Amino acid sequence: MIAPDAKKKLDELSSRVLTASADAMRKERYPDCGGSLQIGFYAGGCGAGSVSIDCQPCNIRIRLDGVPSVPPWVAVAGRETQT
């Protein structure tokens, strides 16, 4: 089970990833270890897409399904980016 404060940090990271500019995205780090992130947007077949957020040092993957629109950072950074 994830601690409430850790869940809050992950929820905040997830929200930022959906709305961030490319410049803001490049500054994102994983809340627990401060490590860089591999972030990708994947278009879905029914109009909604998904976002994957990976921290390799922590062996953590966050997947956000049902993303209704392409996040702003994709236009500049591409569909996959590393922070």
Q: How many domains does the chain have?
A: 1
The reported pLDDT for the residue numbered 37 is 94
Other CB atoms closer than 10 Å to residue 82's CB: what's the count? 13
Q: What global pTM score does this model have? A: 0.87
Give CA–CA dist 24/67, Å, rounded.
19
- Per-residue pLDDT 10s for the chain (83 aa) are 678 888 899 899 999 999 999 999 999 999 889 999 999 999 877 778 999 999 988 898 999 999 999 999 999 999 999 99
The reported pLDDT for the residue numbered 39 is 95
- Residue 32 DSSP symbol: T
- Full 3-state SS string of 34-50: CCCCEEEEECCCCCCEE
The reported pLDDT for the residue numbered 76 is 92
Give CA–CA dist 82/38, Å, rounded.
4
Domain residue limits at 68: 4-82
